[in-house]
Structure 1
Amino acid sequence: MTADLPIESLRNLGPKSGQWLRKAGITTIAELERLGPVVAFRLVKQHQPKASLNLLWAMAAGLKGKDWRKLTAKEKDRLRKEVEE
């Protein structure tokens, strides 16, 4: 993945998700890769409490280059538990 691409170019993210990530200080895919989807989700939730777990799934899958709907229940459960820690 090209590191310096704007966050909005990550697969699965729409304009609203990109806006939320930018507000949380995450502007590029490289920054998201460094932080990881769980930390990024926590940062977004500080500014956007209504952000749902779908954003977490979108980021995690996008970093793997796949559609968020392809995440397994096991992957989603692991991510959910990490967010709750």
Structure 2
Amino acid sequence: MTTGTSTDKLRNIGPKSAAWLRQVGLRTREDLAAAGTVDAFMRVKRAGFKPTLNLLYAIEGALQDCHWQEISDERRSELVVAAEAAIALLPPPRYRPAAAPVTTTQMGEESSMAMPSLFDEPGERE
């Protein structure tokens, strides 16, 4: 079992972010530190979640033990450039072709009269 401060208890990391991090195997502060800010962010992104730059800054703030808004503009820029470079290396999304148009067929009254209902008693419609 992993020891250390749970991501649930880290500064800047809310319940949704903590859940995302847990789902990608980052359960403690030590796990986050070993991965690093950008790699932790990219693990969440590659897992199919839709993290924003706020998560990137929140992870950095958690590792620096400061509020994410206290991260310098220079460091934020470095993180964004690194994250954008990592995102550029991701394979393009696989798009599925759009499904064929859905058509709805409605039965006329005469057709529905001939069809038994689940609520009809046996022999009621003859």
Instruction: Decide which structure has the larger Cα Rg and report it.
Output: 2
The residue number in structure 2 matching 1:32 is: 32
Look up the match of 2:116.
none
Gaps of 5+ in 1: none
Alignment of structure 1 residues 6-85 onto 2, 5 Å: 6-85=6-85
Q: Distance in 2 between matches of 1:52 and 1:5?
A: 24
Tell me the amino acid that sits aligned with residue 14 of structure 2: G
The TM-score normalised by the length of structure 2 is 0.62
- Residue of structure 2 equivalent to 1:4: 4
1:4-56 deviation digits (Å, cap 9, x = unpaired): 11111110000000000011111111000011010000000112442101001
CA distance in 1, matches of 2:34, 2:59: 12
For residues 38 and 81 of structure 1, what CA distance do their matches in structure 2 show? 10
Contact 1:21 / 1:27 at 8 angstroms: preserved in 2? yes
Divergent runs of 4+, >3 A: none
Q: Percent identity?
A: 35
Counterpart CA distance in 2 for 1:33 and 1:59 is: 9
Question: Comparing 47-56 with 59-68, which one deviates more in the overlay?
Answer: 47-56
User: C-alpha root-mean-square deviation of aligned residues, in Å?
Assistant: 1.2
Matching residue's letter, 2:34:
R
1:20 touches 1:48 (CA, 8 Å); kept in 2?
A: no
Query: Which residue type is aligned with residue 18 of structure 1?
Result: A
- Taking the aligned partners of 1:82 and 1:53, their CA distance within structure 2 comes to 12
Q: Which amino acid counterpart does residue 9 of structure 2 have in structure 1?
A: S
Total equivalences in the alignment: 83
